[in-house]
A and B are shown apart, each in its own frame.
Chain A
């Protein structure tokens, strides 16, 4: 059990890297699509809805395979500069995870935007604050605060989601556990140790989010 620990920890570092980068891009995508979702233009609105419907309605594994195996099938992508990115399983995983978590994040933020009390916006308007500043300084901060608990869940779901990277040959925590299992034929040792590390990571994320909630959370 001790001998397999270092390799699993190496895997855990990759898992965390995948998690942090996809959460970062996912948040940007989520924010963009949440703004598109509350747009009044029906075409933009429908487009954003379709995006989130597709990525929430299909399994992450399908999305990952579509990007990793599927995109390489398109001739002009293979000849373009993008090929450098999509031929790497690591980047494909990050693209798939970011798009996936972006869809969920956009839903979380959208509901947060829609539940902001009218009074805040009206107050800003009567104080003569411009629309743009109201949006950036009032609506976005409130939405982020309100969505912290749901977003914390999303981070944990994504941590579990990154384990799928192992099926496209990335040696993350799950991939290392599989390797140990294949090399030693000790499935319980390999997967239970990996499970403990995953639980530990979940526990840490849970507590960080709880702390942030306490510090910045919205008491109404």
Chain B
């Protein structure tokens, strides 16, 4: 247990901050995912063939390749691309892209594909009458969306979004391969220096279980709250 104490002798404080990092990356990734979903959901629902194909390509490709591949591509490719762009402007030094940003972006792209599917399903399951009624009432197009469709879409997507959140949370463990110090990376470091991998990976597993358990509780509360009127 002294291995987990706070301060210089134990790994408690390191693991604590690593947990905060995991939470931060997950929230960042989820937010980026929402942005992607808000861009790609309309594309997937659009009647325009080209836009449709673009939307479908995004979700199909991202959901069909391993998460690790997206992370590696952004991490190695991103550095190369940034250095290439910089060399055009006459800077030839080595550029390292922040691991947090790359990680959150990579996981965000992945969770965005799942969120897109969730939003699409939610919009499709909104009663047709709602669209018609808001049109008949003469609401403007964007008011229709923000005041009628969006609130219902969010309510309908909470249960599935909670799944996406769980997936995102677990996917953040993969960012450890790029060196960002979150739970997984910190346990790896601790396991390496104390030669006790069994203990530290068990701690990591417990930390993830606590995170998934707590987020489940919070999401259930939200669900109850947003379903009050139904």
Chain A residues with CB under 8 Å of chain B are: 53-54, 57-63, 65-66, 69-74, 156, 159-164, 166-167, 174, 177-178, 181, 185, 187-188, 191-192, 194-195, 198-199, 202-203
In the complex, which residue of chain B has the Cβ closest to the Cβ of A198?
A: B65
Please state if A59 and B65 are interface contacts (CB–CB under 8 Å).
no
Report chain A residues within 8 Å CB of B80: 185, 187-188
Judged by a CB distance under 8 angstroms, whether B209 is at the interface is yes
List residues of chain A with CB within 8 A of the CB of B65: 160, 195, 198-199, 202
Docked Cα-Cα span, A92 to B68, in Å, equals 19
Residues of the B chain whose Cβ atoms lie less than 8 Å from the Cβ of A63: 205
Max count, chain B CB within 10 A of own CB: residue among A62, A187, A198: A62
Majority secondary structure of chain B interface residues (helix, strand, loop or mixed): helix
Contact for A181 among B76, B174, B198, B205, CB less than 8 A: B76
Q: CA–CA, A185 to B77, complex, Å?
A: 9
Query: Which of B76, B201, B205 makes the CB contact (< 8 A) with A191?
Result: B76
Q: Could you tell me the dominant secondary structure of chain A's interface residues?
A: helix
Q: Cβ of A181: which chain B residues have Cβ within 8 Å of it?
A: 72, 76
For B172, list chain A residues within 8 Å (CB): 59
Ranked nearest first, the 6 interchain pairs of A and B with the lowest CB-CB distance are A163-B66, A187-B76, A69-B197, A59-B173, A70-B198, A202-B64
- A74–B192 Cα gap in the complex (Å)? 16
Measured between beta carbons, the chain B residues less than 8 angstroms from A202 are: 64-65
B residues 193-212 with Cβ under 8 Å of A? 196-199, 201-202, 204-205, 208-209, 212
- Asked if B223 is at the interface (CB within 8 A of a chain A CB), the reply is no
Q: CB-CB < 8 A to A54: which residues of B?
A: 205, 209
CA distance A179 to B67 in the complex (A): 18
Note all chain B residues with C-beta closer than 8 A to A58: 170, 204-205, 208-209, 212
Q: Is the CB of B77 within 8 A of A62?
A: no
Query: Do the beta carbons of A174 and B64 come within 8 Å of each other?
Result: no
Q: Within 8 Å of chain A (Cβ to Cβ): is B59?
A: no
Whether B209 contacts A61 by the Cβ 8 Å rule is no
Q: B2 to chain A: closest CB distance in Å?
A: 18
Q: A59-B174, A198-B69 are in contact. List 18 more A-B contacts (CB 8 A).
A: A53-B209, A57-B208, A59-B208, A61-B174, A65-B188, A65-B201, A65-B204, A69-B197, A72-B197, A73-B199, A74-B198, A159-B66, A163-B68, A166-B68, A181-B72, A187-B80, A191-B76, A198-B65
Q: Could you tell me the distance between the alpha carbons of A54 and B197 in the complex, rounded to whole angstroms? A: 18
A65: which B residues are within 8 A, CB to CB? Answer: 184, 187-188, 191, 197, 201, 204
Cβ–Cβ contact B170 & A59, under 8 A: yes
Shortest beta-carbon distance, B68 to chain A, in Å? Answer: 5
Nearest CB of chain B from residue A42's CB, rounded to whole Å:
21
Q: Nearest Cβ distance between residue A160 and chain B, in whole angstroms?
A: 4
The CA of A164 and the CA of B69, in the complex, are separated in Å by: 10
Contact A191 B173 (CB under 8 A): no
Task: Evaluate contact between B77 and A191: CB separation under 8 angstroms.
Answer: yes
Q: A54-B209, A160-B65 in contact; A66/B72 too (CB < 8 A)?
A: no
Residues from chain A with Cβ under 8 Å of B184 in the complex: 59, 61-62, 65
* Minimum distance in angstroms from A171 CB to a CB of chain B: 14
Say yes or no: A69-B208 contact (C-beta < 8 A), given A58-B170, A156-B64, A195-B69. Answer: no
- Contact A188/B64 with A65-B197, A66-B205, A70-B201 known, Cβ cut-off 8 Å: no
B204 contacts which chain A residues (CB < 8 A)? 58, 62, 65
Q: List 26 A-B contacts (CB under 8 A).
A: A58-B205, A58-B208, A58-B212, A59-B173, A59-B174, A62-B187, A63-B205, A65-B184, A65-B197, A66-B202, A69-B198, A72-B197, A160-B66, A163-B69, A164-B66, A164-B68, A174-B68, A187-B76, A187-B80, A188-B73, A188-B77, A188-B80, A191-B76, A195-B61, A198-B65, A203-B64
- With both beta carbons as reference points, the residue of chain A lying nearest to B197 in the complex is identified as A69
Cβ contacts under 8 Å, B73 to chain A: 187-188, 191-192, 195
A161 to B199, CA, bound (A): 24
Q: How far is the CB of B136 from chain A (nearest CB, A)?
A: 37
A162 contact set on B, CB distance < 8 A? 66
